[in-house]
Structure 1
């Protein structure tokens, strides 16, 4: 009995839960359907409003503008659509500038402003007065910037006349023809562009105006202004081989043109000094030993040129001193060169002037002369000189003794007094009216010492002397000849290390 009752109670409870769930589901469904219906109604309402607004706007576009103007263009009586078409047609950009040879389209400087005007036309009721003006001060600023760009593109500097060639055979110089330059009249161009814009002529083609720029120097003036700005002379010896080498180096240099900013290289100009090129063996020092090799003597050419370069107001970018001081120039003022076809000590300088220069070189007898011909780079009345001073002596070397049995027994003869090397500092002095106005360090030099050479006879006494045959007597004169050549090479002041030294 109790069990049946409990079962019936559970059944009634389960039915209540089921009915409740069904009721809740029904309520939720009704809520969702209600919300959807309201949402759809709202959307339909919004759509109707948008359609209405669009219709209104379309109707506005078709309405005639009562009073509307953009600059000089009257838009009154036109619909908004017609007004927009008129603006796009009348204000279409295509302004160009020509320099006579090319035309450049100017960047559109009004498109941003026109966009704002078109938007206002659409937003403003057709029955309201509308008067729009372009911002010409802003347009002018844009034109000024573009004029600066065109100036950089079209401006040309005047080109002055300068020497372009020299004929060593005739001694005649050739000069380039001067060229006029031009400067864009930017202020005038901006004014022309602005006038066209204010006239609403945005398809205008404007011819730019230029101010001629006369070059600093005409061809006739160049012929008068070119002069010898640096020159130096040294004396050679009568050694034929050595002078032949000097002559070949002179021929390679004479008439060379060096443009502004161009660097001169002695080694590149003469090339490798070899016997195949006609250079003959002459005295030169290699590792402190006097030898005969092709090209001996050309260092006198580089040294002479070096002085002409300095006197002309230029500075060297490479200069080297000899191992042993030469005698054809003051100590501390030589310029040694050496070249093996690939590398070696060189003499270099850059033409820092504004015009080309010509190098002139000649060897007449024993007179070696080299000059720099150009437009003066120094102030009028200013000249450059080199001053050198010894800092200290090099360590002396012990005397070298040589046996010479041709000398009386027990006697000595000095055949080479030797030289004492040293360290030198050189300075570049600018003088005007005999007064030094500037002094600056130029370079340093160091020279080795050469030992004194004494010949003596300490081995063969007079009673041991054997009468010489005529042939022996003739051959005995050979050392004396050798001594003479060695002395000559020493007196010349040979260079050091490598082919082509002097």
Structure 2
């Protein structure tokens, strides 16, 4: 009976001490220090961290995490092999707080709890889970980055002009990765089936993608254009650069197929404005005058195309007038291109593909034809009229040029200013049924300027000192716009 009394006294003592022990334990930090030793018998995943310092255990866990995340993953995508790693796919340690829990085991709580923890560790040990995980959305994005280049996208049926109608290029089905299924399958394999040792080979889930437009859609396209327009230009050596730009522009726009609902930007098909892209320096409108820049003359291409689109009654979503009037189309019927702020943009608002044909003739003309499925009645027709609203006559100016000798003159011709409207008139059975104002365009007046040389004259006429008397004969030069 003596041992029972001793045990009772021990228990009473422990109970009395519990309150003070708890207060003492609460005042101590539970955060493990680098040099604190973890109790024996503790595992995190398959890593034995017992009898290691916190710092040593952390290093050992990080090495294991690196070993797991560096595992090679081979992805099979449409018979293409992509090699990556679990780490690159977003696989990482997701419960780093477990190390603090393991380090604190047996070191907190009251005496009874500590005593019990010690017994459990000696008898059974303690194993914490090392959680490695993906975020599914991140995994999906990583798969898209890796696999997208190897997707075989479906190709719509297309058209090719042959000179006697159209050749239809058949559609092709595509094979693309199903990212939702592939993500779920890879996630489940790594998290539930993988042995955490071997490299991983994974077959992505492939689905067949159907083309949106088929041979049947292309068969709707008529061999007769829905709309056509031709403009003319001057030929000859002095116009070679401008005409080469017209040819280059026609070739870049020719042969494009636009499917229903798609939008077409001329600038996107013509840039960059560089010599390497086939552009030559030629006259363009700049600051109320004419100056050479790469691509000069391209606006005749866009203006000709614009008029063909009007006749085809295709929806034009962006169109800009020139800063000054041009000669190759009626007022308000032009379409200027400039930098990234003036563009000709249109949309296929029909039920079939449309084909853009640009034809350049070295004899001095450019033609655009718009082919498609023309559902307009034979009795339907349209006409476009330019209405002159106002005119601003050309003013004349004289400017002295101290860099040119006395007797030198140069005349730069000006441009008349205009305001004009473009009307669309619709006829049914030859009878006018509507008249619609499309837009009003304003073209600036630029003055005719005569430049007079003053170099070598008296000090009042010249801004530069005279160095020698000029013996040059009178010269006259006239610069005209070829826009």
Report the TM-score when normalising by structure 1: 0.48
> By percentage of residues, which structure has more helix?
1
Structure having the higher Rg:
1
Report the TM-score when normalising by structure 2: 0.49
